[in-house]
C-alpha cells in the first residue's frame, strides 16, 4: 500500500521485494495503525468469520478485524511490515487470531477459503499484476463470502506527480469490469465513490475520494 501520488524514484534494477522492504525498513512506521475507514464501514455489520487481507502493511486492518472476532491471514511483500503487523497483533492481544505471511502476492496463492477477502489501496510504484492478484483472490472467497476492494479514485492535492502510480485510478464500474468475474456467481453490494478526511505527509488536510467495491459470491 502507498499514499496516492507520492512518487518515488525507483532504481531500474530494484525488484518489488527490494523496493517495498526498503520503503518500510528505512523509516519508522509508515501508516497510522488505524484501520481503513471504508473497510470499517463495510465490514462492521458482517458476521465474523475467516478473512484474508492482501497487502496488509503494518497490520491496521488485520488487528481491527481480529479484535472483532475474525480469524485473518494478512499478506505483505515486506518482512519489516509483517514484523510490525505481528507486533501490533501482540500488543492488541489478538496474535492467536492472525496469521501473517511475507511474500510477493504476484506469486502467492492459497488453498484456503474465506468469508472476506479485502484489498485496501493495493497500489504500487513498481510492477504489480494487480488485476491478476485480485482475480486469484476472488477464487478464494467462499460461497456467501465477500470481496472488498478499496482504491484511490484520484490523486490527493499534495501529489507531486499526477500519475506517479503504475495503478490507474479506476471508477467503481471500471474496477468491477476489470475483475471480469462471472456475473452468475457474484452480486454487487457496493459500487461507489466514498469521501473521507485525510492528512498528507506534509500535514495538509484534505477530503479524498475512494473507490469502494463490495461483491458477494452466491
Q: Where are the domains of the chain?
A: 16-217
**Strand, coil or helix: what is 145?**
strand
Tens of each residue's pLDDT in the chain, 218 residues: 433 334 445 556 789 999 999 999 988 888 887 999 999 999 999 999 999 999 999 999 999 999 999 999 999 999 999 999 999 999 999 999 999 999 999 999 999 999 999 999 998 888 889 999 999 999 999 999 999 999 999 887 877 554 444 447 899 999 999 999 999 999 999 999 999 888 876 778 889 999 999 999 99
User: How many Å apart are CA 180 and CA 173, to the nearest integer?
Assistant: 11
Q: Which pLDDT score is estimated for 160?
A: 59
Q: Who's near 149: CB < 8 A, 6+ residues apart?
A: 118, 119, 120, 122, 134, 175, 179, 211, 212, 213
The answer to whether the beta carbons of residues 92 and 63 sit under 8 Å apart is yes
Q: Which pLDDT score is estimated for 77?
A: 97
CA of residue 84 relative to chain centroid, distance: 16
Q: Which pLDDT score is estimated for 157?
A: 80
Pick the CATH number of 16-217 from 3.40.640.10, 3.40.50.150, 3.90.1150.10, 3.40.630.30: 3.40.50.150
The answer to whether the beta carbons of residues 40 and 210 sit under 8 Å apart is no
Q: Which pLDDT score is estimated for 33?
A: 78
Q: Which pLDDT score is estimated for 198?
A: 83
- Which residues are paired to 163 by β-bridges? none
DSSP tally for the chain: helices H, then strands E = 6, 7
Q: What angle do CA 112, 135, 74 make, to 5 degrees?
A: 45
Q: Which pLDDT score is estimated for 12?
A: 63
User: How many Å apart are CA 87 and CA 26, to the nearest integer?
Assistant: 18
Q: Which pLDDT score is estimated for 101?
A: 98
DSSP state of 183: G
Q: Which pLDDT score is estimated for 32?
A: 81
Q: Which pLDDT score is estimated for 191?
A: 97
**Tally of CB atoms within 10 A around 143:** 10
Q: Which pLDDT score is estimated for 164?
A: 45
Amino acid at each position: 500500500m502507498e499514499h496516492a501520488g507520492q512518487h518515488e524514484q525507483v532504481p531500474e534494477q530494484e525488484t518489488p521485494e527490494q523496493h517495498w522492504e526498503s520503503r518500510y525498513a528505512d523509516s519508522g512506521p509508515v501508516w497510522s495503525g488505524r484501520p481503513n475507514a471504508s473497510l470499517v464501514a463495510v465490514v462492521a455489520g458482517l458476521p465474523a468469520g475467516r478473512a484474508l487481507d492482501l497487502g496488509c502493511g503494518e497490520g491496521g486492518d488485520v488487528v481491527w478485524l481480529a479484535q472483532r472476532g475474525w480469524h485473518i491471514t494478512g499478506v505483505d511483500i515486506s518482512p519489516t511490515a509483517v514484523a510490525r503487523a505481528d507486533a501490533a497483533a501482540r500488543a492488541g492481544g489478538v496474535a492467536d487470531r492472525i496469521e501473517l505471511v511475507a511474500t510477493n502476492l504476484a506469486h502467492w496463492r492459497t488453498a484456503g477459503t474465506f468469508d472476506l477477502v479485502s484489498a485496501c489501496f493495493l497500489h504500487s510504484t513498481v510492477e504489480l499484476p494487480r488485476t491478476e492478484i485480485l482475480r486469484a483472490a476472488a477464487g478464494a472467497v467462499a460461497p456467501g463470502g465477500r470481496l472488498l476492494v478499496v482504491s484511490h479514485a484520484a490523486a490527493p492535492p499534495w501529489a507531486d506527480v499526477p500519475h506517479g502510480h503504475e495503478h490507474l485510478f479506476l471508477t467503481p464500474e471500471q474496477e468491477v469490469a476489470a475483475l471480469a468475474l462471472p456475473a452468475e456467481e457474484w452480486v454487487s453490494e457496493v459500487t461507489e465513490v466514498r469521501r473521507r478526511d485525510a492528512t498528507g505527509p506534509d500535514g495538509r488536510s484534505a477530503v479524498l475520494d475512494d473507490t469502494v467495491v463490495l461483491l458477494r459470491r452466491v
